[in-house]
Amino acid sequence: MYSSREQSKMRFIAHDSRLFANMAPPQRETLFRLVYKTCKQEDFQYICSINEDALLSFQSLMSEEEFEEIISENIILELNDDAPSSKLLGIQVDIDLEDKSKASDDIS
């Protein structure tokens, strides 16, 4: 634990897309404005995964220039499912979520 005089050497915070799932567009817009301002002032990195529809949900709440500066210019990696190479691990991962025999074996 750090005292009030010490500063962590970790200079980032990360979330996944679930943070934004039940958030209204105005709150998303406010969050990204605050994150952008804080990261610039504190030399801090914000890492998040967010679905395109969640990003676009607040685009109209910003000017084109603001959205470009705060959002578009700060996208480092865009993941898609158009090819395995554009996925997070760079490969296709297939998991059988419907194999109920394994689940029932675990119960007995």
Taking residue 71's Cβ as centre, other Cβ atoms within 10 Å add up to 18
**Domains in the chain: boundaries:** 12-82
What pLDDT does 95 receive? Answer: 80
Q: What is the pTM of this model?
A: 0.70
Of 3 and 72, the structure prediction assigns the larger pLDDT to: 72
> Is the four-CA dihedral 53, 54, 60, 63 of positive or negative sign?
negative
What pLDDT does 100 receive? Answer: 61
In angstroms, the CA 48 to CA 78 distance is 11
